[in-house]
Amino acid sequence: MKNGILVAGAGGFIGGHLVADLLRKGHKQIRAVDIKPFDEWYQRFPEVENLQLDLQLKDACERSASGIDQIYNLACNMGGMGFIENNRCLCMLSVLINTHLLMAAQKAGVKRYFYASSACVYAADKQTDPNITGLRESDAYPAMPEDGYGWEKLFSERLCRHFTEDFGLITRVPRFHNVYGPHGTYDGGREKAPAAVCRKVIAAKLAGKHEIEIWGNGEQTRSFMYIDDCIHGIDLIMHSDKVTFPINLGSTEKVSINQLVDIVEDIAGIKLKRRYNLSAPKGVNGRNSENTLIKKTLGWEPCIPLRVGMEKTYNWILGEMTKGA
C-alpha cells in the first residue's frame, strides 16, 4: 500500500465512522485494523483492507504501519464508567498499543500520527462540582487523571509529544468528550451514558415496566458530542498545522444525567419511575468541555444539539433492539 491511511481501532464506534468518512472523501488506500473478529466490528467496509490484529504487539503494529502515510490511532480497551472503574489494568495496558504504533510509525516514515485522547486526563479536583463551567486544556496539570484509563491517556499524550520533539514525527492529540451516536455499544457493560439511557428507556417501554435505574444521584453533569461533529473535528485537527498540542474536542452543552433521562423520555413519549443506585460507578461530579482554544485555532464547534443527536441514537438502538420482533 502506497500513501495509505491506517485506522487503528476501525472495528469500534468512532473508528467505523471515521473509515466511512474517509471513503466518502474519496480515499482509496485505507487499512482498517482491530483486535475484534470481523463479525463484531460495528461497521466494516469491503472496499478497504481489513485486518484482525492485536496492536498491543510490536509485530502487528509494524505490519499495520507498512506503506502508510497517516495513522489514526483510536485503538484502546475502554468503555463507560462501569467498565473503566472495574478494569483499570486492562485500560492501562492500552499503552502498549500507542507505544508500539508510534515506534512503528517512526520506522515506516509515517508523515502524520493522530492519537485519540480523552477528557479523562483532567485532574479530579477540577471536576468536583456539577456546576462546572468547562475544563481548559491546562486543567490536565498538576496531573490527577481518572485512575487507570486517564493515566494511560495522559502518558500517551506525553509520548506523542516527545516523539515529535525527539524524532520529528508530526502528532495530533484531541481530548474527546463523551462521543455518542448510532453504530456504537449500547449494552454489555462498555456502553456510555447516552446509549445506556436509550437502551434502558426502550427496554422499559417494550416490557411495559415503567421504571429505570440511574447510576448515582443523577445530578452529575456531562457534555455529549454527536459522532458527526466528532468526525469533522478529527479531520480539522489531523490536517491543521496550528494544533501542535492536546486540544479539547467536545460539546459545551452540559446536562445532568437526570436531564439526559428527561430528553430520552420525551423522545420515547414515556415517563418512568427513577431508582437511584448510589453504589454504582458514576465518575466525577461534573465535566464539560471548554472550547475557546479550538474555536480560535480551527473555528470548530459542534452544530448538532443534544436533543437532535439523541433522537438519531435512540431510533438506531430501537431498531437494533427490535430486529426480528
pLDDT in tens, 130-149: 998 899 999 999 999 999 99
Q: Match 467505523 to its residue by C-alpha cell.
A: 16
Report the candidate in 226, 229, 218, 223 with the shortest Cα–Cα distance to residue 265.
218
Cβ neighbours, 10 Å, residue 175: 23
Question: Which pLDDT tens digit goes with each residue over 21-62?
Answer: 999 999 999 999 999 999 999 999 999 999 999 999 999 999
What pLDDT, on a 0 to 100 scale, did the predictor assign at position 132?
Answer: 86
Return contacts of 39-47, CB within 8 angstroms, 24+ apart.
Answer: 40/11, 41/10, 41/11, 41/16, 42/11, 42/12, 42/13, 42/16, 42/183, 42/184, 42/185, 43/16, 43/17, 43/19, 43/183, 44/10, 44/11, 44/16, 45/19, 45/20, 47/23
Average the pLDDT over 315-324 and give the result: 93
Catalytic choice (149, 180, 186, 226) = 149
> Could you give the CA distance from residue 278 to residue 248 in angstroms, rounded to a whole number?
30
Question: Which pLDDT tens digit goes with each residue over 165-213?
Answer: 999 999 999 999 999 999 999 998 888 899 999 999 999 999 999 999 9
Q: Is 149 a catalytic residue?
A: yes
C-alpha count within 13 angstroms, C-beta hemisphere, residue 183: 18
Model confidence at 7: pLDDT above 70: yes
> Could you give the CA distance from residue 12 to residue 164 in angstroms, rounded to a whole number?
27
* pLDDT class of 84 with cuts at 50, 70, 90: confident
Question: Which pLDDT tens digit goes with each residue over 249-307?
Answer: 999 999 999 999 999 999 999 999 999 999 988 888 999 999 999 999 999 999 999 99
Model confidence at 230: pLDDT above 70: yes
Q: Is 282 exposed, middle or buried (0-12, 13-18, 19+ CB in 10 A)?
A: buried
Q: Match 485532574 to its residue by C-alpha cell.
A: 123
